[in-house]
Structure 1
Amino acid sequence: MATEQVDTVVVGGGQAGIAMSEHLSNLGIDHVVLERARIAERWRSERWDSLVANGPAWHDRFPGLKFDDTDPNAFAPKERVADYFVEYADKIGAPVRTGVEVKRVTARQGMPGFLVETSQGDIIAQNVVAATGPFQKPVMPNVVPDDAPVMQIHSNKYRNPAQMPEGAVLVVGAGASGAQIAAEIMRAGRRVYLSAGPHDRPPRSYRGRDFCWWLGVLGKWDIAAPTPGTEHVAIAVSGANGGETVDFRRMAAEGLTLVGRTEEYENGKLHFAPGLAEAIRHGDANFLSVLDEADAYAERNGLNLPDEPEARRFAPDPDSINAPIRSLNLAEADITSIIWATGYALDYSWLQVNAFDAAGKPAHQRGVSTEPGVYFLGLPWLSRRGSSFIWGVWHDAKHVADSINTQRNYRAYDVDAQAYAAAE
């Protein structure tokens, strides 16, 4: 049987892969999108039950389709988000093949293109777009040994409070996932400890506008590179409960116990790094900086938005900040489970081409890699701050598709030249 040939193979059928397909189709570029499970699978099976989008429905979408059954200011549930991408794929006629795993991609020797080895046969492609996104390989720090008397899971395995064994729960990580999971478990009547390190803490809304709107008009989404040292700072933001500002002081007043960054385990005890108060103050500073810029923008542009002075009033620091806990005996604290909301690492082991730097990270310029014909899409800061968000990846996909089309036109030169020579 002849090996299938296609101009471009897109690996991954999530938001990045669907966006890529639309732009390739608009340019008339023959392509397939290979997805090892279902479209937007991670939204369905690798997130907790109550998860909603972190941005409102008017914002977290592609330009070509609205959430027609969702209030524009509401936050779509995870299953609705996944369904949205299925609808979008149908709308644009995306050539998605589900249940197809890409096992290996290698450059063809002595000829252009790549050999894409899949669970359903080989494909020869001129271009390969790695659209697998940033959430590839869950990271669980090697702190607490596997044989410790405590259940340990990554946040991608957490589903709901009933899943957790009786006893207190330690959630490690103060980003969006950690903050939301800790709040949900605490409000289910459980004792919860939250291990927090440095984080940003933007307001959910201010003066009647969602923070997504403020970041847009302030030009924050288009920042081309993170401030040095902030590339991996967690962002504590939530669309849960209709959208609310993450406030660790309020959560502490409701019963949450804050501890510092989880550092070491020894003889049944967890030790936490100093600096919890500083981490909370860092989040406060980030929060207030958004308010300051929003106020300045509203005044400069004459916006008639309601004042919100109470947004700047913080509750008193809880005891867990004033007298931070530096160590906990897990048994004495009745901590029976740990949820590691500690992010993900990239996994491109299947992509065996010269498109990575010495540290194994993708080497690219706005998604165009150092290996001609290989492209990346959906990564944080691919071109700007908004790159890994739903609307941001759509715009990045257009740039990548345009780059593929440009190279296709250059390749056409050889074909035209040979045809001309043969006609003489």
Structure 2
Amino acid sequence: MSVEMFKKHYPVVIVGGGQAGLSVSYRLKKKGIEHLVLEKRQILNSWKTQRWDSFTLVTPNWQCTLPDHPYDGNDPKGFMNRNETIDYLERFAAKVDAPVLENVAVERIWKREAGGYHVLTSKGELSCDQVVVASGGYHQPIIPRMAERLPESILQIHSNQYKNAAQLPEGAVLVVGSGQSGAQIAEDLHLEGKKVFLAVGNAPRVARKYRGKDVVEWLDDMDYYKMTVDKHPLREGVRDNTNHYVTGRDGGRDIDLRKFATEGMELFGVLENYDGACLTFRPDLKENLAFADSVYNNINTRIDKYIVEQGIDAPEESHYKPVWEPEEERDTLDLAGSGITSIVWCIGFRPDFTWLDAPVFNGRGTPVHYRGVTQAPGIYFIGLPWLNTWGSGRFSGIAEDSAYLADTIQQNVVSTTTTEVA
């Protein structure tokens, strides 16, 4: 697309060329609303560059329901791997054929006196009436400042840089964080024969299968995925929840950190500090493992209740009982003596919306919205966790979210005709 596009004023600008931004583009094209997608790198960039080699979806393939683009493979109850997921998304991108400018970073968006918004980019300036922020909420990899004090000989990478065990040096590895990425990366390294130390946080876990079906199927039957934020017991607090760890690898299975411990993985509590010789951890390993198991069993109890209420004939299954308990809370680890030569930080990301100069954030810098619609005229968000439902940050909810936003945008369209910027 030509540089002349930067001389234009657009009815809508979409910031971000991932599945969320492409979904909104698809909806707007259907409605005949002119728009432009700005992507800092390449479309679907994070899927192509920030997933490890053995990555699989943790939700079944049948939940992949982008707008008019459902999963069409032959394994709906399976879990697409990295390459299959990218192929699914690339076919969606080809179907959308969005008006996108790649390698164009948005540096600032602010209000125009004439109405609408200025959009300053790395390649020039344009303006628009409405803005859709579709860049997600995972922008800045979190690595604690204590990392600066670790020996230079220790290779440190973030989870978004991890590909496989071969990229790490010989020796043991410390994985910090036990959310979805941390648990799966620890498993990957463990299966590859690496000596793994894992700093376990308070992430919950969930069973892969229970009483004859994938737990996701049970929760879908129970209408959990239809629950909206305003109906959830935690209300907007649910947006801060850590994802449950489980895996779709090898057809799908539980991730049981206790089992890994019986096989030689060494578990600790939350990593707190490095004193120049030893890593120090909170003495909360037992507590964190117990919490994860309590969530696991609580979900299964809810499924049991549903089965009874509906009179469903399902095979009986007992609840999880720990296969390992730490004998003592170890809160220090001699770094040199442990043989650790690399660290994979798996403690998440911080959002960065500093480029958006608009009164749409709370005191923590988090967007305030209802179903992605903010109080600032013409500014919207999509692709955030629990934007409206559990599926909002996943492939299962974007179709509904993008349809709602497109309808709202259509109601607020100033003009569908591109004009020169005055």
For 1:316, which of 323, 340, 360 is the aligned residue? 323
Decide which of 33, 58, 61 is 1:29's aligned counterpart: 33
1:258 deviation in Å?
0.9
Q: Which amino acid aligns with 1:17?
A: G
The alpha-carbon deviation at position 147 of structure 1 amounts to: 4.7
Within the alignment, does 1:11 sit opposite 2:20 as a pair? Answer: no
User: Alpha-carbon deviation of 1:223?
Assistant: 4.3
Q: Which residue of 2 aligns with 1:188?
A: 192
- CA 324–379 in structure 1, closer or farther in 2 if over 3 Å, else same: same
**Partner amino acid for 2:265?**
L
The residue number in structure 2 matching 1:329 is 334
Map of 2:252 onto structure 1: 243
Quick check: 1:18–1:85 contact (8 Å CA) kept in 2?
A: no
Farther-moved stretch of structure 1 (291-300 vs 159-168): 291-300
How far the C-alpha of 1:168 sits from its partner, in A, is 0.8
State the distance in 1 between where 2:37 and 2:74 align: 28
Q: Partner of 2:289 in structure 1?
A: 280
Which sits farther off after the overlay, 184-193 or 384-393?
Answer: 384-393
Aligned amino acid, residue 306 of structure 1: P
**Which residue in 1 is equivalent to 2:298?**
289
Corresponding residue for 1:270?
279
Q: Deviations over 1:176-235 (max 9, x none)?
A: 100010011111111101111212111112123222222222233324156387623342
Instruction: Say if 2:260 is the partner of 1:255.
Output: no
| Offset of residue 138 of structure 1 | 0.6
Alpha-carbon shift at residue 113 of structure 1 (Å): 1.0
What amino acid maps onto 1:191 in structure 2?
A: K
Q: Render the CA deviation track for 1:98-149: whole Å, top value 9, x for unaligned.
A: 333222222112x111122233432221111110012211111222324524
Structure 1 residue 375 displacement after superposition: 0.8
Give the secondary structure class of the aligned counterpart of 2:283: coil
Q: Does 1:116 align with 2:119?
A: yes
Whether the 8 Å CA contact 1:174–1:234 is kept in 2: the answer is no
Distance 1:207 1:385 in 2: 23
Indicate the larger mover: 191-200 or 119-128: 119-128
SS in 2 for 1:125: strand
Tell me how far 1:315 sits from its aligned partner: 4.2
* 8 A contact 1:180–1:240 mirrored in 2: no
Identify the residue that residue 164 of structure 1 maps to in structure 2.
Answer: 168
For the Cα contact (< 8 Å) 1:175–1:237, is it kept in 2? no
**Which segment drifts farther, 378-387 or 300-309?**
300-309
**Cα drift, residue 33 of structure 1:** 1.6
Q: Measure the CA separation in 2 of the matches of 1:64 and 1:338.
A: 42
Partner-residue secondary structure (3-state), 2:218:
helix
* Cα distance per residue 1:228-263 (max 9 Å; x no partner): 876233421211222111111111122211110001
For residue 219 of structure 1, the aligned residue among 223, 230, 238 is 223
What is the one-letter code of the residue matched to 2:404? H
What letter is aligned with 2:304? D
Q: Quick check: 1:198–1:234 contact (8 Å CA) kept in 2?
A: no
Q: 1:140 aligns with which of 135, 139, 143?
A: 143
- Amino acid in structure 2 at the alignment position of 1:90: A
Alignment RMSD (CA, Å)? 2.0
Correspondence for 2:346: 341
With the length of structure 2 as denominator, give the TM-score of the two structures.
0.90
Query: Given the alignment, which residue of 23, 39, 43 partners 1:39?
Result: 43
1:112 & 1:316 partners in 2: Cα distance? Answer: 63
2: CA distance between counterparts of 1:355 and 1:115? 16
For the structure 1 residues 395 and 322, does the alpha-carbon distance in structure 2 shift closer, same or farther, using more than 3 Å as the test?
A: farther
Structure 2 residue aligned with 1:422: none
Give 1:127's aligned amino acid: Q
How many residues matched?
405
**What code does the residue aligned with 2:295 have?**
N
Instruction: Identify the residue that residue 420 of structure 2 maps to in structure 1.
Output: none
Residue in 2 that maps onto 1:204: 208
Question: 1:76 is aligned with what amino acid?
Answer: M
Partners in 1 of 2:41 and 2:359 — Cα distance? 27
Structure 1 stretches lacking a partner, 5+ long: 413-424
Q: Secondary structure at the match of 1:99?
A: coil
Code of the aligned partner of 2:336: A
- Kept in 2, the 8 Å contact 1:20–1:398? The answer is yes
Q: Identity, % of aligned pairs?
A: 37
1:105 aligns with 2:109: yes
Following the alignment from structure 1 to structure 2, what is the Cα–Cα distance between the partners of residues 232 and 141? 20
Correspondence for 1:396: 401
User: SS of the residue aligned with 2:344?
Assistant: strand
Deviations 1:242-293 (A, max 9, x none): 2111111111122211110001110221111022111111111111111111
Q: Which residue of 1 aligns with 2:177?
A: 173
Larger RCO, structure (CA 8 Å, separation 6 or more): 2
Q: CA deviation at 1:296?
A: 1.6
CA distance in 1, matches of 2:341, 2:149: 13
Taking a change above 3 Å as real, the CA distance of residues 95 and 303 of structure 1, as seen in their structure-2 partners, is farther
Return the alpha-carbon distance in structure 1 between the equivalents of residues 323 and 255 of structure 2.
16
- For the residues of structure 2 that align with 1:272 and 1:138, how far apart are their CA atoms? 21
